[in-house]
Amino acid sequence: MSQLSRIKDLVGSFVSTDFKRKRLESETEDNEESPVKKSKNVENDDSLSAPAFLKRVASFKDFAWCRDIPALSPLEISRHGWYSTKDDFMVCCTSCKEYLSLAIPAQDTGIRKLCITTAVDRLSSAHGEFCAWASAPSPLYWTRVEVPDMSSVAVSACKISSLGEKLPHIKVEHMKPWQKMLKSIDQDLLKGEEDNPHVLDTSCVLALCGWQSGLLEDTLEDKFHIRRIGIWNFVSIQDHEDLLEARKVARELGQTVDDERDLAPEGKEYFDPLQEHLSWNPLLQEVDGLPGWQYIIQQNMTKKSLESKAEKKDPLNMLRRVRDLLDYW
């Protein structure tokens, strides 16, 4: 049966790539629709409802929640059925309507660690006597970094690329770690977007780093719809190219050229696709001793290695080679 499935997938690869991409875009829109849009149909008391979970997370818009306490991050709090009331560190249960203060004293008080431990326990115990959230929180893995589906990354990158050279320029040191993963993206799904390779690579890296096109014009936002940035605040691809051209002309005229690493138009800065996230974003939290984003890269490389070994033993390899030859001719 598995052989038949693989033959079916292989034959399916002859299907129009444009059709494949449109289908994936439709599926991605269904899966990633904003929890705000879905709110009318979301049952907040359902601990296994992902849209309801995202809706609770989206209530933690205050930067005060970025306080470097992973066990009390908005993700963990939302997992236990709480949402932010917009008051200082006050949350409320979606079911029993109990209120809970998660204010934590400063480090120099000497009781901070104890208060954190107590607050973590209260995420479960502070619910009402018969509240289901006390014993049935949402799945833990929803709060952890997720290795992205590369087809979904391609679809998201295509949407981001519509911003063209207005997209923020990403420095080489921030692009380099993702180079191998870029090769894992199905190039067929990116066809039609190759006019500017710089824009396309930037869009793919932004998608891999958890960014997507914002609901507002010329904005990017994270998947939780909380962190939203206006791309006009950052050095764009066009700005960077203009700076390079200006430096080239200056050199030709024998003028002194400033260090290009720190040079930027007044009022703008270079965009770091990871550090612009909120501190509690899973991409910045540790998994198996690695920051979440490095864990994603490691898992992708491991998967590719296993697939490569399996391919060498694949009896359908010859059929794939025939298909490649047909495509070539």
One digit per residue, pLDDT tens: the chain, 329 residues? 445 455 445 444 444 445 444 445 555 554 444 443 333 334 466 899 999 999 999 999 999 999 989 999 999 999 999 999 998 899 999 999 999 999 999 988 889 999 999 999 999 999 999 999 999 999 999 999 999 999 999 999 999 999 999 999 999 999 999 999 998 888 888 876 667 889 999 999 999 999 999 999 999 999 999 999 999 999 999 999 998 888 888 777 877 766 555 567 778 999 999 999 999 999 999 999 999 999 999 998 888 777 666 655 555 665 665 555 555 45
Q: What pLDDT is attached to residue 1?
A: 47
pTM across the whole model: 0.78
Name the strand (E) or helix (H) holding 51.
Answer: helix 50-57
Q: What pLDDT is attached to residue 284?
A: 96
The rounded distance, in Å, linking the Cα atoms of 230 and 268 is: 11
Q: What pLDDT is attached to residue 311?
A: 58
Domains and CATH numbers, the chain: 16-34+145-329 (no CATH), 46-143 (1.10.1170)
Q: Which two tokens stand for residue 243?
A: 């700076």
The number of beta carbons lying within 10 Å of the beta carbon of residue 165 is 15
Question: Listing from the earlier edge strand, what are the strands of the sheet with 90-93?
Answer: 82-84, 90-93, 99-101
The rounded distance, in Å, linking the Cα atoms of 203 and 224 is: 19
Q: What pLDDT is attached to residue 42?
A: 42
Q: What pLDDT is attached to residue 7?
A: 46
The rounded distance, in Å, linking the Cα atoms of 197 and 193 is: 8
**∠53-20-6 over CA atoms, to 5°?**
95
Q: Give percent helix, percent strand, percent coil of the chain, each to the nearest 5.
A: 55, 10, 40
The rounded distance, in Å, linking the Cα atoms of 77 and 74 is: 5
Q: What pLDDT is attached to residue 189?
A: 81
Strands, E assignment, 35-193: 82-84, 90-93, 99-101
Q: Tokens 């507002």 correspond to what residue?
A: 216
Q: What pLDDT is attached to residue 38?
A: 38
The rounded distance, in Å, linking the Cα atoms of 86 and 197 is: 43
- How many C-alpha atoms does 232 have within 13 Å on its Cβ side? 3
